[in-house]
């Protein structure tokens, strides 16, 4: 396979490609489109000769914005962008707000190399408190909000939401089990025994008393934490006065659990009920955006982002572009605090306000507690960026050591590591992790459900062949179609493949790549040491006899980290698939029965077995189940559908 030439990052390239004439050609192209550009608001795309979208921009007047490109005095970034432009496309909008939203969507879809890119777009976890059940569930939630109930968050990490959820269970004794598990209980589970649940499933608590616990939890998560604690303290005193020391002890434990939640949240503001706080730091041409989440006067954690942006951009420009992408698919709080002023602040305020159906304020505080919150975020951004730069330098040294150990011409920029996980062939998955100069690149991780039904259960070599064939067949197809290189110059094609295995896996990997016409990607197989001891691995490389690395070689340590990460990722994926199979109901096999209808049926009958025995008339009586669906379910369980 021939690899298309990699597009250089604009930050490291000269202003012109072919000299001044190239810039002049680009100006002429823009000038030819300028006279037909929309006079009003809209979005424009600058496109290269190979159809790659170079840049997506929006403007209150697209024609006036294009006119600015026809003047001189551009930065190196703008000059190079103009030089590469071969054509343009426009979309008119009714308002500048619509243009901002459309621009953000285009950037997320097309990932143009000259735009600021957010990179990490992973969703945040929330705490969900159900509202569609007689005994509402409290649980961690991530993704679409398609269930009736309240969502509290966002939390910056899974660790933060798990810690808070565990404390809430101790404080309010709410169930965390699924509705189907709840419906099938005949006696309380272990959580009731360790005082983490009040067991509404078996009637250990009345529906009215459980509803009070739910209301207390909702009040606490909504910001009424002091009122809830005062109520529990009053009840504890009353129980103690009545000599009901056992109940008083239980209330004491609940108060302690609530204190634990607030005591581990660090800085908690007194005057800011709900806000997201953003601060940006810049050093050595790299940017870090730190965001803190404050809800109900509590700090619910922080997360750092490293957007890809040209080093000539000002921090305020990067932050403004980042904000639009950050809130593209996330709910916005009532207040957003920034460390730097941004050009499109008022437009973004209007856009977020229209989407949320309420006012959203974006500000740069100059004094008081809000200013302190921003400065705290800015300090964290500077420290995080410093650590990132230090880790990057260390990573470059490790990559160089890896190249020396395996005889590579240069340090690899993209490493792909493959591993399989299964139990005697069941729930078999293949996993690919990716690493480079920036460490593990989790956005590029991939999983492969093993599909070949002719494989012998437990055939690791056969599974590896299937995974590699699927991975590289797709890469060949993308290259043949002229697919654009990645948006941030991180290559899509690996410079090194690491395989968890020995000679058989090494030979299998080489055969697959040769079959696909790929002959210039180095492969290294890692056979575990005797008794699976770390540090005694044997390596298989083309053109060399199997060898070991010195126990003190930094390359060996690095390879072990890569292999362990691939193993962790593969096992985690396998366990998730196995858990899904364990909890699968026969209702999942019925086409047209989605989560809502499944929940309605289980709420009505309790179990899938009871549903299978129900008559057609009984099925038709269930709320949310029409006659056609009832007939579908009845036929499935009585021989006509399954």
Q: Residues 429-467: pLDDT tens digits?
A: 888 999 988 888 888 899 888 877 677 777 888 888 999
Residue 32 pLDDT greater than 70, yes or no: yes
Helix, coil or strand: residue 361 = strand
All structural domains of the chain, each given as residue ranges with its CATH number in brackets, are 10-110 (3.40.1440.10), 126-263 (no CATH), 274-387 (3.30.420.10), 412-580 (3.30.420.340), 586-637 (1.10.150.20)
The average pLDDT across 477-485 equals 64
Q: What is the mean pLDDT of the chain?
A: 83
Taking CA atoms, 217 is separated from 174, 200, 232, 263, 380, in Å, by 9, 16, 12, 17, 31
- Tell me if residue 523 falls in helix, strand or coil: strand
Between residues 596 and 402, the one the model is more confident about = 402
Mean pLDDT of 21-35: 87
Least confident of 16-25, 91-100, 336-345: 16-25
Q: Are strands 361-363 and 335-338 parallel, antiparallel or unpaired?
A: parallel
pLDDT at 512: 92
When pLDDT is averaged across residues 515-521 and rounded to a whole number, the result is 88
The predicted pLDDT at position 220 comes to 78
Terminal Cα distance for the chain, rounded:
47
Q: Could you give the CA distance from residue 565 to residue 251 in angstroms, rounded to a whole number?
A: 43
Question: For the whole prediction, is pTM greater than 0.75?
Answer: no
What pLDDT score does 486 carry? 46
Q: For the residues of 563-615, what is the DSSP string, one character each?
A: HHHHHHHHHHHHHHHHHHHHT--GGGGSTT--HHHHHHHHHHHSSHHHHHH--
The per-residue pLDDT for range 140-162, each reduced to its tens digit, is 988 777 788 888 878 877 777 88
Say what the pLDDT of residue 6 is: 36
Compute the distance between CA of residue 403 and CA of residue 412 in angstroms, rounded to an integer. 7
Residues 42-60: tens digit of each pLDDT: 999 999 998 889 999 999 9
Summarize pLDDT for 154-203 with one digit per residue, the tens.
Answer: 887 777 788 778 878 887 889 999 888 888 888 888 898 888 899 999 98
CB neighbour class for 497 (10 Å; exposed up to 12, middle 13-18, buried from 19): buried
In this structure, what token pair is assigned to residue 501? 């295995």
Residue 153: what pLDDT?
Answer: 78
- List the structure tokens of 62: 């697209």
How many Cα neighbours within 13 Å face the side chain of 198?
A: 24
Share above pLDDT 70 across residues of the chain, in percent, rounded to a whole number: 87
Confidence of residue 3 (pLDDT cuts 50, 70, 90): very low
The predicted structure's pLDDT at residue 397: 86
Band the pLDDT of 627: cuts 50, 70, 90.
confident
């Amino acid at each position: 396979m021939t690899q298309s030439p990699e597009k250089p990052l604009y930050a490291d390239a000269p202003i012109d490609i072919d000299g001044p004439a190239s810039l002049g050609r680009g100006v002429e192209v823009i000038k030819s489109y300028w006279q037909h550009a929309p006079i009003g608001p809209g979005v424009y795309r600058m496109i290269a000769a190979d159809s790659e979208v170079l840049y997506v921009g929006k403007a209150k007047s697209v024609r006036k914005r294009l006119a600015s490109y026809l003047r001189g005095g551009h930065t190196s970034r703008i000059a190079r962008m103009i030089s590469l432009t071969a054509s343009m496309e426009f979309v008119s909008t009714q308002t500048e707000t619509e243009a901002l939203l459309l621009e953000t969507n285009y950037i997320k879809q097309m990932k143009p190399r000259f735009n600021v890119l957010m990179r990490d777009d992973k969703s945040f976890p929330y705490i969900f408190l159900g509202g569609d059940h007689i005994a509402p569930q409290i649980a961690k939630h991530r993704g679409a909000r398609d269930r009736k109930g309240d969502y509290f968050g966002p939390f910056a990490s899974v660790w933060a939401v798990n810690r808070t959820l565990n404390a809430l269970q101790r404080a309010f004794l709410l169930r965390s089990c699924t509705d189907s598990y709840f419906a099938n209980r005949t006696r309380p589970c272990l959580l009731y025994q360790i005082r983490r649940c009040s067991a509404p499933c078996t009637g250990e608590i009345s529906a009215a008393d459980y509803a009070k616990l739910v209301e207390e939890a909702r009040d606490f998560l909504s910001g009424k934490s002091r009122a809830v604690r005062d109520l529990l303290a009053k009840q504890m005193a009353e129980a103690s006065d009545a000599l009901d020391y056992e109940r008083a002890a239980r209330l004491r434990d609940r108060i302690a659990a609530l204190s634990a939640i607030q005591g581990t949240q660090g800085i908690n503001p007194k005057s800011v009920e709900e806000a997201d706080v953003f601060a940006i730091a810049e050093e050595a041409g790299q940017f870090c955006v730190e965001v803190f989440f404050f809800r109900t006067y509590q700090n619910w954690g922080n997360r750092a982002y490293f957007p890809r942006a040209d080093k000539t951009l000002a921090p305020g420009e990067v932050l403004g572009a980042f904000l639009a992408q950050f809130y593209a698919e996330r709910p916005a709080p009532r207040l957003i605090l920034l460390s730097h002023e941004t050009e499109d602040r008022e437009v973004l305020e209007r856009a977020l306000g229209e989407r949320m159906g309420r006012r959203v304020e974006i500000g740069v505080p100059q004094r008081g507690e809000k200013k302190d919150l921003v400065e705290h975020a800015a300090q964290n951004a500077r420290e995080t960026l410093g650590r990132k730069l230090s880790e990057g330098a260390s990573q470059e040294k490790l990559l160089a050591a890896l190249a020396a150990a395996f005889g590579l011409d240069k340090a690899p920029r993209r490493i792909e590591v493959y591993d399989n996980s299964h139990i005697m062939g069941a729930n078999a998955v293949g996993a690919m992790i990716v690493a480079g100069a920036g460490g593990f690149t989790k956005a590029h991780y991939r999983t492969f459900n093993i599909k070949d039904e002719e494989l012998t259960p437990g055939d690791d070599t056969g599974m590896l062949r299937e995974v590699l064939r699927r991975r590289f067949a797709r890469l060949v197809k993308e290259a043949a179609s002229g697919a654009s290189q990645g948006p941030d110059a991180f290559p899509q094609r690996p410079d090194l493949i690491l395989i968890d295995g020995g000679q058989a896996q090494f030979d299998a990997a080489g055969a697959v790549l040769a079959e696909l016409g790929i002959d210039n990607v180095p492969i290294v197989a890692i056979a575990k040491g005797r008794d699976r001891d770390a540090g005694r691995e044997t390596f298989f490389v083309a053109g060399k006899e199997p060898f070991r690395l010195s126990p003190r070689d930094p390359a060996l340590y690095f390879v072990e980290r890569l292999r362990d990460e691939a193993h962790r990722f593969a096992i985690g994926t396998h366990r998730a698939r196995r858990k899904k199979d364990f909890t699968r109901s026969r209702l999942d096999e019925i086409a047209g029965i989605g989560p809502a209808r499944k929940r309605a049926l289980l709420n009505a009958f309790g179990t899938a077995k009871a549903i299978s025995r129900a008559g057609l008339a009984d099925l038709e009586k269930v709320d949310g189940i029409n006659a056609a669906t009832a007939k579908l379910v009845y036929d499935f369980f009585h021989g006509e559908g399954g």
